[in-house]
Structure 1
């Protein structure tokens, strides 16, 4: 007997207004997202040397301050990149929003109710110990103690992306640290207030992230500017690891100092498995 064709629709992790290529292909109402996503353009390009956003408008060079970005090129070697991704791929990737796949090494958090549970949290993965020690060689990260690591897998076939957003600042602290692997991409920074021009309600800045770099967002880039990865900027598989530290509320002298100490003891044991 001939095998029957499996016509079960492919599934994704999208919920609510989030979409990816898989669910858009199955839902005509969501297909307009494809066109909207492709039309997103940046006004400025970030220059890591001057630490300014730059554009050429009508033959005149214009500059916009964008403080709070640090890019460390070639943070890992090609061999280290291969080892890191191989180790990630030994674990299960879970479908997440907007065509991404995800691995979480962190506590269970309900941000709306502001609750943190240790649950099955077992720490950051062993392979990240060396990365964290290297991060501390950067003066900006001298005291960096990550309590969460989130691995994300982006694919052009799934239409992977992440919408403009600000990371939580109740639990997570000053520095957002990401290691960019397998391919270069563009981090789009956006500011709702724009540049002050009457016809410009939002300004976008393209921050180019080379393969194997580390990028840190802090200060205004962390708390005032939203950040995103758009679908059009994913051309081949991209894997990244984002590390987050605790806010002052969970550090010595904070109202949740005890819980913060417990979280850090677990995180920095480097015995973690993904939740």
Structure 2
């Protein structure tokens, strides 16, 4: 069952875009059109096959290749669970974020440039996630997964929501990035700017990972650390809400330099008593 679209009236006169980031709202104000420079260059497009774990060339002009580091769990949540999760999320305030998104953060305050972590008002992951985390941990790819941060993101085509190609931090956040995709299908685009010269692909390579509604996706290994990931504007056709969970890096785990802080953060996170900060 589709959930009614959110009330965007709180963000129709302003946006949170900074620097080169754009949403439809600020483009209309500035009468600009956002065009990715990489699209003017040659890009090799592949499609991820979750059964064979291969990246398959869309036009068959290049050889398929193994694409490790992506695990897709279809129907991770049921329709009824999705309805309940979205209803509970919409009871909390959504804050404007860049590139036409809205967000809810459940995690410590972090300054990645200065490498500082502050507990601040962090009160843990939300109660609605406790059962989901237990379910995740039953999957061998997520054995021992203990998330210390959750970020809910709300995408809508009315605002041209997207997220640019990027690599998640690896100083604080650990090996596995876990995302639950809700309300609509979308495509996660993985990209390698330098291409794959060993395969004769010297230009940018992109691998499209289709994310069905209510699925869970895990990025780890090469897909986590080498390949950038993005959600492009054209791949948001309806409202999309996702929840991304992140675990701690080795530096904050037992034996690491900041193990004491890590234990404190995990103790708070896994109390599941959190409110968005």
Contact 1:42 1:188 in 2 (8 A): no
Residue equivalent to 1:217: 219
Matches within 5 A, 1:171-190: 171-190=172-191
Contact 1:106 1:121 in 2 (8 A): yes
Q: In the alignment, is residue 18 of structure 1 matched against residue 16 of structure 2? A: no
Q: Secondary structure at the match of 2:20?
A: coil
Shift of 1:17: 0.9
Matches within 5 A, 1:94-105: 94-105=95-106
Q: In the alignment, is residue 44 of structure 1 matched against residue 46 of structure 2? A: yes
Matches within 5 A, 1:36-75: 43-57=45-59, 62-75=63-76
The alignment covers a number of residue pairs equal to 265
Q: In the alignment, is residue 27 of structure 1 matched against residue 5 of structure 2? A: no
Residue equivalent to 1:234: 236
Q: Secondary structure at the match of 2:244?
A: strand
Contact 1:37 1:231 in 2 (8 A): no
Give unmatched runs, 5+ long, in structure 1.
1-7
Q: Structure 2-normalised TM-score?
A: 0.91
Residue equivalent to 2:256: 254
Q: Distance in 1 between matches of 2:61 and 2:25?
A: 43
Deviates more, 1:34-43 or 1:229-238: 34-43
Contact 2:45 2:58 in 1 (8 A): no
Q: Secondary structure at the match of 2:90?
A: helix
Q: Which runs of 4+ in 1 moved over 4 A?
A: 34-42
Matches within 5 A, 1:121-200: 121-196=122-197, 200=202
Q: Structure 1-normalised TM-score?
A: 0.92
Q: Distance in 2 between matches of 1:234 and 1:174?
A: 27
Shift of 1:16: 1.0
1:70–1:194 distance in 2 versus 1, CA, 3 Å: same
Residue equivalent to 2:115: 114
